[in-house]
Amino acid sequence: ASARVPLVAGNWKMNFDHLEATYFVQKLAWLLRDAHFDYRHCEVALMPTFTSIRSVQVLVEADNLKIRYGAQAVSVTTQGAFTGDVSADMLSQLGCSYVIVGHSERRKYHPEDDANIVDQVRATLTAGMQPILCVGESSEEHRQGIELDFAVGQVHDVTRDLNEEEAARLIIAYEPVWAIGTGQVATPQSAQEASKAMRDDLRETFGPHVAQTVRVLYGGSVTSKNAMQMISQPDVDGFLVGGASLDAEEFARISRLT
Ligand code: PEP
């Protein structure tokens, strides 16, 4: 067991308008209260679309909820003529704790290359939030059996630009691309192996404090049926949940198991 508090983060992707988001937060808060959920032992976070963050904030503040929230991406610039972008300061002013950076869908559908991902991580950290850096191999690297080197390399591409204090605030989500939204979940052993390889790399680069502090989440077809086995792995510190985070009862179950 580690001193790291597990995190269960729901990535809503482009789902739920602000009314649906409001309904969901109330339902989740009620379910977790009903279950006497202890937020000190597991952080629960929701990552709505930009248009719903304000609604989530208002509810969380009004009812003093312990549910945290964040965004799914962030601009690498601070302000100005960048049509369609949202800055890190705007997100932190709305009480966001986290920003998902480098999700495979962003890497695929938007021009998010390594340099852009490093800049998003830096913008997030500078604004006082924590980046949830998504890495993970595609089915091609999986077939070739080079997934560990690939995922560790993706983390390394970002961490080599950070100092120790910055690296300690990173959260990593190991998400094999072939497992996202497919119902094909990685084995607990392979999630553990990948998480440990990343932690070992952090230890080599930054020393024991960073390695012991950074949470490594697993993501890819997590449900309440497979969460328990995953979270019992020593280096898996929680989950980034896509599809299953759209059902409040299922998301509450995953949180309770974590
Ligand atoms: C994700 O998109 O981050 C994800 C893990 O999705 P799913 O849980 O649906 O596989």
Residue 208, classified by CB atoms within 10 Å of its CB into exposed (0-12), middle (13-18) or buried (19+), is exposed
Q: Is this prediction's ipTM beyond 0.85? A: yes
Averages of pLDDT over each 10 residues, the chain, 258 residues: 90 98 98 97 98 98 98 98 97 98 96 93 98 96 93 95 96 97 96 97 97 98 98 98 98 97
Helix (H) or strand (E) holding 130: strand 130-135
- Residue with token string 């952080």: 43
* Beta carbon of 181 within 6 Å of any ligand 1 atom: yes
How many A from CA of 162 to the centre of ligand 1? 27
How many A from CA of 7 to the centre of ligand 1? 15
CA 186 to chain centre: 17
- Residue with token string 């993970």: 136
Domains located in the chain, CATH noted: 7-257 (3.20.20.70)
Any known ligand binding at 181?
A: yes
Nearest to 242 by CA among 196, 197, 180, 183: 180
